[in-house]
Structure 1
């Protein structure tokens, strides 16, 4: 996915009210940007951090800028991290279409936001070419507390556990179900569940895996001009 125009760099002043961030652009101008991320963004909100913003001049937008990337350094040098949690569904869709994810290849039709389960919508539904429809749930990952190891979730998520239970039900009904963790950072060498942050999610993850929900993790390659799905990352503890 290419950004329509290159992102604008700046320095983070603060994130507040969850959905807003004040950023000082080059030249000293301070702007308020939307923060398209509902999570805690643990470890990614330090004042003074280098960030990149997208711009949109649409008269219907309240804020011209949106926060997209932050520079994060865990001791091995700075790495770009994507914080926009609305990006992963489109990134995974693009990657499936381009054949980047072999585990999800061979289907004739891809649809997004299809109703299923208990008043939910599956992120991606793949059909045709396989007798079993494939239900794909996508989660945005950007938490990294130990260099090289990405983690999810960064806060408690009952909604995430609910999605795992619904995927399990799809397997019970004879379908294929896939939980895709998309790491919006290029320094991930492995992936693990943050059991200390949300033990209930960890239990739901283990049970979903036990009953046949497939677990995948891919990382991205990021720059101020584009984000693309890059390569698979091993998931720890699957056995």
Structure 2
């Protein structure tokens, strides 16, 4: 995926009211841009962070600019626009970069399904095999207290995410293929685990899903400030340690 027109940059001043971000351009001008990420954005939204934003040509938008990429103090790139996760995932699937999800005749986005009034991100279908339900989640939380490159999902309690796990478990029980695809949009994350220290219920559900046969894939694309390209898979670690244990043991 290439950003067109090219992204422009500034320094983060503040993020507020969930959707609003004030930045300072290099010429000193201040600009309010849209933030599509409604999560905690831990480690992604500290004042002074270098941000890159896109500009829409849609005249109906109140805020034409959208925050796309952040650069952490350690130099890692983070795609903070959660709307990009599905776009990137679709390009990877259709381009064959995720072989285990390739080769289906059709890919349908946002299909209604399940008993809890959900929409699956992608439904993959063909006549030769079971339907494949793919739920995409964006991972941007890096917490290295339990080891270098340790990433977690979610970064805040997620009732919606729990609902999606229940739906995937039900689809698997009904004889379909069910996949939870973590799009790892932080260049510093090298492995992923459920954030039991943030949302214990979600952590328990993801373990139930794994044991029920729901496939858990973690894919980290190569992130740049002007394009995002295929890179490869990283591991998912089940039953990972709570990072607060590092505080108790004196590790830091």
Q: Which TM-score applies when normalising by structure 2?
A: 0.91
Q: Give the RMSD, CA atoms, in angstroms.
A: 1.3
CA distance in 1, matches of 2:128, 2:91: 20
Q: 2:76 aligns with which of 76, 79, 91?
A: 79
CA distance in 1, matches of 2:43, 2:110: 30
Q: Is the 8 A contact 1:138 1:181 kept in 2?
A: yes
Distance change >3 Å, CA 80–CA 112, structure 1 → 2: same
Unaligned runs of 5+ in 2: 241-252
TM-superposed deviation, 1:129? 5.3
Question: 1:8-50 CA distances to partner (integer Å, 9 max, x unpaired)?
Answer: 1100000000100000011111100000111111121110111
Task: Show the counterpart of 1:4.
Answer: 4
Task: Show the counterpart of 1:89.
Answer: 86
Q: 2:220 matched to 1:219?
A: yes
Q: 2:96 aligns with which of 96, 99, 105?
A: 99
Distance change >3 Å, CA 130–CA 148, structure 1 → 2: farther
Between the two proteins, the alignment pairs up a number of residues equal to 236
3-state DSSP class of the match of 2:83?
coil
Unaligned runs of 5+ in 1: none
Q: Is the 8 A contact 2:130 2:175 kept in 1?
A: yes
Q: Which TM-score applies when normalising by structure 1?
A: 0.95
Question: 1:49-82 CA distances to partner (integer Å, 9 max, x unpaired)?
Answer: 1110111132101002110111113xxx401100
TM-superposed deviation, 1:238? 7.0
CA distance in 1, matches of 2:226, 2:107: 26
Q: Is the 8 A contact 2:142 2:188 kept in 1?
A: no
CA distance in 2, matches of 1:196, 1:78: 26
CA distance in 2, matches of 1:168, 1:155: 22
Task: Show the counterpart of 1:20.
Answer: 20
CA distance in 2, matches of 1:221, 1:46: 23
3-state DSSP class of the match of 1:155?
coil
TM-superposed deviation, 1:237? 2.2
Task: Show the counterpart of 1:60.
Answer: 60
